[in-house]
Amino acid sequence: MATSLLLLLDDIASTLDDVALMTKVAVKKTAGVLGDDLALNAKQITGISADRELPVVFRVAIGSLINKGILVPTALVLNLLLPQAITPLLIIGGAFLCFEGAEKVLHKFFHLESSNHKPDSTPDQAETANSAQTESTRIRGAIRTDFILSAEIIVITLGVVADEPFLTQFSVLVAIALLMTVGVYGLVAGIVKLDDVGILLLQQQFTAGQFLGRVIIRVTPWIMRFLTLAGTAAMFLVGGGIVLHGIPTLHHAIEHEIHIAAPNAASLLMLFANGMCGILTGIAILAVVVTAQTVRAKIT
């Protein structure tokens, strides 16, 4: 009986070692998407009033955990029963990400504003209602974007552990899901509260602390602007990359031509190709959506 117990403990230790190793490999493979996830989510929070930043981050983090709770078992079941369905679903998600990016760019350049105004509302009531609506919209948008990026990370992770036993697959997926959520939203919370840290340092008696506080306060707006641009760019890069990788013939043809033309800059040019694919996909879908909305408006 003691021998059986020792064997059981040895199996558990071996499984934990495999999980740790596979998790480390999966983290390396998904690092780029995690960076995009960070940029996109920090961008979504930018512009929220200071007293609502952490509650919004918390609500999005809870939504992200719910996303993972849906995605992990779904990915495992699909991998067992219908593995060929994963790639088309990812392409749809990537295309939607490209569409959202194109929509944001259009909104930015043409300053599209809603014309829904209530004449019987006071300015304060209207401002409060608009603020609440904006916050809810941002939270929904962030959770929706997180779902697509999380799906890609889960599928990449599943590819790493595809040949492992089911228990190892499940353990690694859960570990990646938790690490991704805590890591990304912990960093997002830290980024959005940088200005508060700067103000706190300014109140210190030490000169070095005050200097660091002034630097943080001056740098924070630039960080937020960068994250806004990086978040939009990430939508095209990640979405375009998903769409392009989902069409193997096109992806291999582009990759082949890049390696022939400029082998030393292959990674950079492939990134550019992903971005261009994302932009073209987003524009195409946006054109279809706008045309459909115009036609429906004329009919009604």
Tell me, yes or no, whether 6 lies in a domain: no
pLDDT at 285: 93
Q: pLDDT at residue 6 above 60?
A: no
pLDDT in tens, 161-207: 777 788 888 888 888 888 888 888 888 888 777 777 888 887 877 77
* Residue 100, Cβ density class (10 Å: 0-12 exposed, 13-18 middle, ≥19 buried): buried
pLDDT top residue among 279 and 154 = 279
Tell me, yes or no, whether 4 lies in a domain: no
Q: pLDDT at residue 55 above 50?
A: yes
Tell me, yes or no, whether 220 lies in a domain: yes
pLDDT top residue among 42 and 252 = 252
pLDDT at 190: 80
Task: Read off the pLDDT of each residue in 32-41 and give the average, rounded to a whole number.
Answer: 60
pLDDT at 41: 65
| pLDDT tier for residue 98 given thresholds of 50, 70 and 90 | confident
What mean pLDDT value characterizes the chain? 76
pLDDT in tens, 103-136: 878 877 765 444 444 445 455 544 455 555 677 8
Tell me, yes or no, whether 195 lies in a domain: yes
pLDDT top residue among 177 and 149 = 177
Contact 95, 243 (CB under 8 A): yes
| pLDDT tier for residue 43 given thresholds of 50, 70 and 90 | low
CB burial of 21-35 (b: ≥16 within 10 Å; e: otherwise) equals ebbeebbeebeebbe
CA–CA dist 97, 91 (Å, integer): 10
| Residue 277 belongs to domain spanning | 17-299
The SS3 of residue 120 is coil
pLDDT at 280: 94
pLDDT at 19: 60
- The pTM score is 0.63
pLDDT at 35: 58
Tell me, yes or no, whether 265 lies in a domain: yes
Cα–Cα distances in angstroms (integers) from residue 124 to residues 51, 52, 119, 261, in the given order: 18, 18, 13, 60
Tell me, yes or no, whether 157 lies in a domain: yes
Q: pLDDT at residue 145 above 50?
A: yes
Tell me, yes or no, whether 120 lies in a domain: yes
**Domain total of the chain:** 1
Q: pLDDT at residue 18 above 70?
A: no
Q: pLDDT at residue 271 above 50?
A: yes
Contact 157, 173 (CB under 8 A): yes
Tell me, yes or no, whether 9 lies in a domain: no
Query: Torsion-angle region of residue 113: left (phi > 0), alpha (psi -120 to 50) or beta?
Result: beta
CB burial of 174-209 (b: ≥16 within 10 Å; e: otherwise) equals ebbbeebbeebbeebbebbbbbeebeebeeeeeeee
Task: Read off the pLDDT of each residue in 272-284 and give the average, rounded to a whole number.
Answer: 92
